[in-house]
Chain A
Amino acid sequence: MNDIGTAAATAIDLVVTADPALARIVLLSLRVSLTALLIAALVGLPLGALLAVARFPGRGLVLSVLNALMGLPPVVAGLLIYLLLSRSGPLGPLGLLFTPTAMIIAQAVLIAPILAALSREVLEGLWEEYAEQLRSFGAGRLRAVPTLLWDGRFALLTVLLAGFGRASAEVGAVMIVGGNIDGFTRVMTTAIALETSAGNLPLALALGMVLMAIVLLLNAAAQATRQVAQRAGA
């Protein structure tokens, strides 16, 4: 209990004093996870919408694989990206290992299946509601995809938040492909792992509290945006 109290005090202190090292780590965390989210969304959401409307043989299998990929362990995703990006791997000449770009790629790989699978789920419900209507306008299934994405945008916001949560919370992948290099690839989660290793448990927990506060703020902002937009729309 005493440790948790110390951690809370440390967390407040870190935020109030705007600790520059902490600021750099927080900014890098946000940059990496938000960029990964953007990339994963560009792939995952259209894919989810397509799967929601398309009917083809083997669709069930594809959905099962996609759902299983939601549980891809970060450390496995990290290892795969590591082997691809290593100088001895197929993409070695790019020299991306141990850079923030490698971390973005790993997180995007990790969350794209989540975005695809969850948006498929959400949009399939919408599709069932609208299918008749859309077809009566003569729109083909493929043409319905943009409409679905647009009509489902508020539900998809939750999907995006789930993806962001997964990206910003994982440590296994970014540790392996980023290397936790001080001032270059150190993010919130790897910093927490490092401080835990150094036995500096209150500081580690304080960093965890700061991370949670940031995620909470982002969620609240997204929620507020949604409400304002919905009210304006209605």
Chain B
Amino acid sequence: MTKILRRGLLAAALALAATGGAAAQDRSITVASTTSTEQSGLFGHILPIFTRDSGIAVRVVALGTGQALDVGRRGDADVVFVHDRAAEERFVREGFGLERRHVMYNDFVVIGPAADPARIAGLTDTTEALRRIAGARAPFVSRGDRSGTHAAELRLWQQANTDPAQGRGQWYREIGQGMGPALNTAAAQGGYILADRGTWLAFRNRQDLRVLVEGDARLFNQYGVMLVNPQRHAHVKAADGQRFIDWILSPAGQAAIASYKVGGEQLFFPNATQPEPVS
């Protein structure tokens, strides 16, 4: 019996060592990013190009922006690539990240059921659309997960001078989940929802949801990238992480972003070199 035990322990140790060893050998960085960049398929398109050119594998952990920044704060990622400028600037100010750089943008869209009970289709003023949804007490699905999209949604309600909290538990439904589950919920309940265009275009379970409001300057969605501060977390792979950041900001990286299309439609627009757009 002790022999069996000893042999078993040895096997377990070997198995663990094998998985750990393989992880340590590869040259890789960990990037904490958002569900929108991962689920839209962008990373699947651009990362193989970077890995081919640099020999560095990129491991993406896709979370909401708030959670991704937390992962960076704890030192569990080398690079953070997200979309909530105010939160990103706080992250850098607090000393968790180095310089924040613009990478690309796309836009948010207001999506809702074809029946459109709040009659917002075709509006170009998002705040007016939100006021009408609140006025009609039509179901609105909120991410409620401190993601970049959630932050943008809360900003828009504020600009609309409307407090959705009064409808909490009734027409205002905070589900605390990612963009995909939120879209699934909106589809099932015939609700309105704010979504990033990338995830929407790649989303398959639309049922009768459609884009109702778009093209408002308020719906601008900027993505930023930053290295986790190696002075805070000494193990951060600063050189390889910086190499990734330099690449994604370079003409090659920017071209890779621009070349990603779903159904012929470009999802993200590189703007690392352009002057600050007005948001």
Q: Which residues of B contact A46 (CB under 8 A)?
A: 5
Known contacts A88-B75, A96-B20, A101-B23, A196 near B8 by CB under 8 Å: no
> Chain B interface secondary structure, helix, strand, loop or mixed?
helix
Closest chain A residue, CB of each to CB of B11? A38
User: B39 near A194 (CB under 8 angstroms)?
Assistant: yes
CA distance A41 to B4 in the complex (A): 12
Closest chain A residue, CB of each to CB of B47? A182
Which residues of A from 42 to 93 have beta carbons under 8 Å from B? 42, 46, 86-89, 92-93
Shortest B82–chain A CB gap in Å is: 15
Known contacts A38-B15, A88-B74, A96-B20, A200 near B8 by CB under 8 Å: no
* B35 sits at the interface (CB 8 A): yes
Shortest A194–chain B CB gap in Å is: 7
Known contacts A42-B12, A198-B204, A181 near B19 by CB under 8 Å: no
User: B184 near A39 (CB under 8 angstroms)?
Assistant: no
Q: Which residues of A contact B206 (CB under 8 A)?
A: 199
* B80 sits at the interface (CB 8 A): no
CA distance A38 to B38 in the complex (A): 33
Q: Which residues of A contact B74 (CB under 8 A)?
A: 86-89
User: A31 near B19 (CB under 8 angstroms)?
Assistant: yes
Q: Which residues of B contact A41 (CB under 8 A)?
A: 8
* B181 sits at the interface (CB 8 A): yes
Known contacts A87-B76, A196-B184, A199-B205, A99 near B23 by CB under 8 Å: yes
CA distance A104 to B19 in the complex (A): 9
* B202 sits at the interface (CB 8 A): yes
Shortest A203–chain B CB gap in Å is: 8
Closest chain B residue, CB of each to CB of A202? B204
* A125 sits at the interface (CB 8 A): no
Partner of B12, one of A39, A98, A185, A200: A39
Flag B49-71 by CB within 8 Å of A: 1 or 0 each.
00000000101111000000000
Shortest B104–chain A CB gap in Å is: 20
User: B59 near A179 (CB under 8 angstroms)?
Assistant: yes
Flag B91-131 by CB within 8 Å of A: 1 or 0 each.
00000000000000000000000000000000000000000
* B178 sits at the interface (CB 8 A): yes
* A230 sits at the interface (CB 8 A): no
Shortest A139–chain B CB gap in Å is: 13
CA distance A182 to B45 in the complex (A): 13
Known contacts A98-B30, A100-B23, A200-B205, A38 near B12 by CB under 8 Å: yes
User: A42 near B5 (CB under 8 angstroms)?
Assistant: yes
Partner of A181, one of B2, B60, B76, B204: B60
Flag B4-25 by CB within 8 Å of A: 1 or 0 each.
0100110110011001100110
Flag A92-134 by CB within 8 Å of B: 1 or 0 each.
1101111111001000000000000000000000000000000
Flag B155-171 by CB within 8 Å of A: 1 or 0 each.
00000000000000000
Known contacts A38-B11, A42-B9, A197 near B76 by CB under 8 Å: no
Closest chain A residue, CB of each to CB of B16? A101
User: A92 near B75 (CB under 8 angstroms)?
Assistant: yes
* A189 sits at the interface (CB 8 A): no
Which residues of A from 169 to 189 have beta carbons under 8 Å from B? 179-182, 184-185
Q: Which positions in B face A, CB cutoff 8 Å?
A: 1-2, 5, 8-9, 11-12, 15-16, 19-20, 23-24, 30, 35, 38-39, 43-44, 57, 59-62, 73-76, 178-181, 183-184, 187, 202-206, 233, 235
User: Which are the 4 A-B pairs with shortest beta-carbon distances?
Assistant: A197-B180, A199-B205, A146-B1, A87-B75
Q: Which positions in A face B, CB cutoff 8 Å?
A: 31, 35, 38-39, 41-42, 46, 86-89, 92-93, 95-101, 104, 145-146, 149-150, 179-182, 184-185, 194, 196-201
Given A88-B74, A101-B19, A197-B178, 4 other A-B residues pairs in contact with their CB atoms under 8 A: A42-B9, A196-B180, A197-B180, A198-B204
Query: Could you name 16 residue pairs across A and B whose Cβ atoms are closer than 8 Å?
Result: A35-B12, A35-B15, A35-B19, A42-B9, A86-B76, A88-B76, A101-B19, A101-B20, A101-B23, A180-B61, A180-B62, A182-B43, A184-B59, A196-B181, A197-B178, A200-B205
